[in-house]
Amino acid sequence: MNQPTPTAAPAQRRQRADGRRSRDAILDNAARLATVEGLEGLSIARLAERTGMSKSGLYAHFTSKEELQLATIERAQEIFETEVLRPARMKPDGLRRLWALSDEFLSHLERNVFPGGCFFAAVGAEFDTHPGRVKERIGVFIEEWVGELVAAAAAAQRAGELPADPDPEQLTYEVDALLLMAHAAYTMYGDPALLERARVGLARLLGPRPE
Amino acid sequence: MNQPTPTAAPAQRRQRADGRRSRDAILDNAARLATVEGLEGLSIARLAERTGMSKSGLYAHFTSKEELQLATIERAQEIFETEVLRPARMKPDGLRRLWALSDEFLSHLERNVFPGGCFFAAVGAEFDTHPGRVKERIGVFIEEWVGELVAAAAAAQRAGELPADPDPEQLTYEVDALLLMAHAAYTMYGDPALLERARVGLARLLGPRPE
DNA sequence: TTGAAACACGAACGATCGTGCTGATTAGGG
DNA sequence: CCCTAATCAGCACGATCGTTCGTGTTTCAA
pLDDT of residue B15: 87
- Residue range B133-182, pLDDT digits in tens: 999 999 999 999 999 999 999 999 999 999 999 999 999 999 999 999 99
User: Using CA atoms, how far apart are residues B169 and A193, in angstroms rounded to an integer?
Assistant: 12
For chain A, the C-alpha Rg in angstroms (whole number) is 20
Q: What is the mean pLDDT of residues A196-204?
A: 98
pLDDT of residue A9: 38
Closest-CA residue to A174 (of B53, B177, B107): B177
Q: What is the mean pLDDT of residues A159-173?
A: 98
Q: For helices A168-189 and A133-158, what crossing angle results, to 10°?
A: 120
Closest-CA residue to B195 (of B121, B131, B110): B110
B58 touches strand D (CB under 7 A): yes
Gap from A95 CA to chain B (nearest CA, Å):
20
Q: For helices B193-206 and A168-189, what crossing angle results, to 10°?
A: 80
Residue partners of B47: CB distance under 8 A and separation at least 6: B26, B29, B30, B33, B58
User: Using CA atoms, how far apart are residues B72 and B85, in angstroms rounded to an integer?
Assistant: 18
pLDDT of residue B77: 98
Give the residue from chain A lying closest to B122, CA to CA: A125
- Residue range A89-140, pLDDT digits in tens: 999 999 999 999 999 999 999 999 999 999 999 999 999 999 999 999 999 9
For chain B, the C-alpha Rg in angstroms (whole number) is 20
Task: Answer whether B174 sits within 8 Å of A176, measured CB to CB.
Answer: no
User: Using CA atoms, how far apart are residues B45 and B52, in angstroms rounded to an integer?
Assistant: 10
pLDDT of residue B12: 57
How far does the CA of A28 sit from the C1' of D21, in Å?
28
Residue A2 pLDDT level (bands cut at 50, 70, 90): very low
User: Using CA atoms, how far apart are residues B55 and B96, in angstroms rounded to an integer?
Assistant: 47
Residue partners of A127: CB distance under 8 A and separation at least 6: A39, A134, A135, A138
Position B5 pLDDT exceeds 60: no
User: Using CA atoms, how far apart are residues A47 and A58, in angstroms rounded to an integer?
Assistant: 8
Which 3 state secondary structure label does DSSP give A98? helix
C-beta of residue B146 within 8 angstroms of C-beta of residue B170: no
- Residue range B183-195, pLDDT digits in tens: 999 999 999 999 9
**Any A CB within 8 A of B112 CB:** no
Residue partners of B161: CB distance under 8 A and separation at least 6: B94, B95, B210
Question: Which long-range contacts does A48-55 make (Cβ < 8 Å, 24+ apart)?
Answer: A51/A22, A51/A25, A51/A26, A53/A22, A53/A26
pLDDT of residue B202: 98
Task: Answer whether A36 sits within 8 Å of B129, measured CB to CB.
Answer: yes
Where helices occur in A128-190 by DSSP H, the ranges are 133-158, 168-189
**Any A CB within 8 A of B136 CB:** no
pLDDT of residue B19: 83
User: Which bases of chain D come closer than 7 Å to a protein CB?
Assistant: 5-12, 16-22, 26-30
CB neighbours (10 Å) of residue A40?
18
- Residue range B50-92, pLDDT digits in tens: 999 999 999 999 999 999 999 999 999 999 999 999 999 999 9
pLDDT of residue B13: 62
- Residue range A53-99, pLDDT digits in tens: 999 999 999 999 999 999 999 999 999 999 999 999 999 999 999 99
Phi, psi of A18 (to 5 degrees): -70, -30
How far does the CA of B56 sit from the C1' of D8, in Å?
8
Q: How many CA atoms lie within 13 A of B174 on its CB side?
A: 26
Residues of A (144-203) whose Cβ lies below 8 Å from B: 166, 169-170, 173-174, 176-178, 180-181, 184-185, 187-189, 194, 197-198, 200-201
CB neighbours (10 Å) of residue A159?
13
Q: Give the one of A170, A177, A184 whose C-beta lies nearest to B124's C-beta.
A: A184
C-beta of residue A119 within 8 angstroms of C-beta of residue A38: no
Q: For residue B135, list chain A residues with Cβ-Cβ distance below 8 A.
A: 188
pLDDT of residue A10: 44
pLDDT of residue A82: 98
User: Using CA atoms, how far apart are residues B139 and B60, in angstroms rounded to an integer?
Assistant: 28
Closest-CA residue to B127 (of B49, B170, B72, B63): B72
Closest-CA residue to B158 (of B168, B149, B171, B169): B168
What average pLDDT does the structure give for chain A?
A: 94
How far does the CA of A8 sit from the C1' of C8, in Å?
30
C-beta of residue A182 within 8 angstroms of C-beta of residue A191: no
First and final C-alpha spacing in chain A: 42
How far does the CA of B127 sit from the C1' of D11, in Å?
34
